[in-house]
Amino acid sequence: MDEGTAKLERADPLELFDAWHSEAWKFEGDANAMSCATATAEGVPSVRIVLLKGRDARGFVFYTNFNSRKGGELGARQQASLAFHWKSLKRQVRIDGLVETVTEAEADAYFASRPRDSQVAAWASLQSEPMAERFELERRLAHYSLKFEGGPVPRPPHWSGFRVVPERIEFWIDRPFRLHERLLFSRTDTSAGSSAVKGWSVTRLYP
């Protein structure tokens, strides 16, 4: 084990994520882009790219339409997996956890910070539903633009945020010949070969 890896094993995983995320912004076009995987009630997986909009001691936050496919699946199963891949840094972070909705106050504050056109679009788009032609969306955009003209755009009742509360966070570092470094931080994991780090256990994984 090299000194750098040993230092990572002693790190708080949330603080380590913040450090990697901050560094990624120097090289990546959008370091907030992350894959978000969900599953249907039958266990059929589904994945898409969403944007990280907050990270605190409780978890990782993104916003969406609750009536969308991912909104429905997250509401039903309340579990998700996230993955960040920062190719320029040759690093990856995977996060598995339970899902909770953000508070009304959190959702209102973030919605108010969005560009007005994005606020109107949240009302106009029937996300994930079939659309016969583009004109349907344009008509709805025009309708809600007129409806809210001259005043603030309220947050739609179907639009809010999810917080993924991490149970497992894996850090991956590219190494030559595919002998990559993998460190898995798990909450309340007492498996053999693990060592406790600030409420987390740390396990080295084969690449």
Using DSSP's 3-state secondary structure scheme, residue 23 falls into: helix
The whole-number pLDDT of residue 103 equals: 97
Residues of the chain with pLDDT under 50: 1-3, 190-195
The whole-number pLDDT of residue 1 equals: 38
Given a contact cutoff of 8 angstroms between Cβ atoms, the answer to whether 185 and 202 are in contact is yes
What is the set of active-site residues? 178
The whole-number pLDDT of residue 8 equals: 81
Q: How far apart are CA 65 and CA 159, in angstroms?
A: 5
Say which amino acid occupies 155.
Answer: R
The whole-number pLDDT of residue 195 equals: 47
Domain 3-114+157-204 sits in CATH at: 2.30.110.10
The whole-number pLDDT of residue 190 equals: 45
| Beta-bridge mates of residue 46 | 38
Please state the length of the chain. 207
Stretch (H or E) spanning 36 = strand 33-39
- Over the stretch 20-39, which tens digit does the pLDDT of each residue have? 999 999 999 999 999 999 99
Residue 132's φ and ψ, nearest 5 degrees, are -65, -40
Tokens 């406790």, residue located: 196
The whole-number pLDDT of residue 90 equals: 96
The whole-number pLDDT of residue 192 equals: 42
Strands 45-51 and 33-39: antiparallel
Reference 17, options 56, 50, 64; nearest CA is 56
**Is 0.95 surpassed by the pTM of this model?**
no
Q: How far apart are CA 122 and CA 111, in angstroms?
A: 10
The whole-number pLDDT of residue 131 equals: 94
The whole-number pLDDT of residue 30 equals: 96
Token pair recorded at residue 130? 């079939």
Using DSSP's 3-state secondary structure scheme, residue 27 falls into: coil
| Domain chopping of the chain, boundaries | 3-114+157-204
Q: How far apart are CA 87 and CA 91, in angstroms?
A: 6
